[in-house]
Amino acid sequence: MPRRRMLTDRQRAALLDMPTEEASMLRHYTLADDDLEIIRARRRPHNRFGFALQLCALRYPGRLLAPGEVIPAAVTRFLAAQLGLRPDDLADYATREETRRDHLATLRNLYGYKMFTGRGARDLKTWLESEAETARSNEDLARRFVEKC
């Protein structure tokens, strides 16, 4: 049985796409000195770039990047400038799936990101059920969920 879609493509994009406006990128994707130190510990330029990109996507909009996902050019230029790299240095990132998994594990460990499992998932489900009673629309509920996460 096909899954029911809660949001339209436009609504999903508004919640989950990476921002491309300069003000939003400055707010969400400016890397701190601590971040840069951790990123620079990666050996190759494409791994530094990919690690930074994964970090930014986890912070905002709060999701993992899909394998093969096309990253907006504005985002790659913005991050490349901070890292002292070229936008095309990202091209070779995660040719090995293990690299991507290792980077995500490192990000979870260093920054405290967690998977939705166990008690956290149950608590979030309870919260979501409560919020659903007062939500004005699917989009309103999804926006609250993203903000809560």
Question: What's the pLDDT tens digit per position in 103-119?
Answer: 999 999 998 887 778 88
Number of domains in the chain: 2
- Residues 13, 64, single domain; the answer is yes
Report the 10 Å Cβ neighbour count for 10.
Answer: 9
Structural domain contains residue 3: no
Q: Residue 139 has which token pair?
A: 């989009």
- Residues 89, 132, single domain; the answer is no
**Position 22, amino acid:** E
**Would you say the pTM of this structure is higher than 0.85?**
no
121: domain range? 115-149
Q: pLDDT of 37-88, one tens digit each?
A: 999 999 999 999 999 999 999 999 988 898 889 999 999 999 999 999 999 9
- Residues 102, 131, single domain; the answer is no
Instruction: Classify 116 as helix, strand or coil.
Output: coil
